Amino acid sequence: MTEEPLTKLFYTIREVSEMLEVEPSTLRFWEGEFPQLSPRRTAHKRRQYTAQDIELLRRIYHLLRVEGVAIEQAKRRLSNMTDKERVRIEAVSKLVNVKQLLQKLKNLI
């Protein structure tokens, strides 16, 4: 998962799936499972993700893929998540990105 700065107002499902390194179908599935996640839709029914949507998706990704919790447990943890836990998840995500970058640099040497 890449941690790029979010500079646009809206992102397409393709852009978000590339950021999180998951398939678009995974994002659509998560949308059905997590009621907190509801991206805006255009007149043509295309999803538009905001920065807040992407941050929520990063938390979902962390819970499901990094910590390996079940979807039901992830739902409970998201609904009861404290600011401290949000900060912890963001810190872990950034550390994972730094580790990936360092591994890429090591491979170049």
* β-strand partners of 41: 47
Cα–Cα–Cα angle for 24, 30, 33, rounded to 5 degrees: 150
Q: Contact, 34 vs 45, CB < 8 A?
A: no
DSSP label at 36? T
Q: What is the pLDDT of residue 4?
A: 61
Q: What is the pLDDT of residue 81?
A: 80
Amino acid identity of residue 57, one-letter, is L
Nearest to 74 by CA among 31, 15, 34, 37: 34
The number of beta carbons lying within 10 Å of the beta carbon of residue 63 is: 21
Q: What is the pLDDT of residue 94?
A: 80
Query: Which SS3 state, helix, strand or coil, does residue 107 take?
Result: helix
Q: What is the pLDDT along the chain (109 residues), one digit of tens a residue?
A: 656 667 789 999 999 999 899 999 999 999 999 999 999 999 999 999 999 999 899 999 989 998 899 999 999 998 888 888 888 878 887 887 788 789 889 898 8
